[in-house]
Structure 1
């Protein structure tokens, strides 16, 4: 004779496949790419990444603050980064993401997001 299963146990067992799938997704680590800011330049100025990856901009100047602005994306802008500080953004959308420095608009870079 089969042992009866409580409604709570039954609901828990139904959730297990979804929880395993979620955990497997967490196991895929996001890649974080580094862009240094020094001598009023982004290094590298052009970066190719995969969708879902992140970019971290790090201010390596001695005295100057910078920010990262995406003019074509509604002017999305990081907070001001002072020497030694960094800012990170994850890119989920494919395409070209041009950016510049807020206080120094002659400083330009691009993130190219591929699948």
Structure 2
């Protein structure tokens, strides 16, 4: 039993400290600092940080498959920005402004 306790103590001491914050590098010009989450989940194109009463997710967006019926060629970046920044919608065609507005209402929900 003493050997088991010694082994457990040695393992616990050798584990790294779990308290941390992190930096998620999103691009060459953008990095997001975040506090330690309770859980982290990751798939091929999505990262989810789960906290007590909220969650943060990051997903790699593919403009060609985001809306398969809509051709976003040349406006993908502007469209995605306009989902979160309504003032940027004015450069888009009216029908795409409406889609950005609708997507903005859906995207805000957690």
Alignment TM-score, normalising by the size of structure 2 = 0.30
Which has the higher relative contact order, 1 or 2, with Cα contacts under 8 A spaced 6 or more apart? 1
TM-score, structure 1 normalization: 0.30
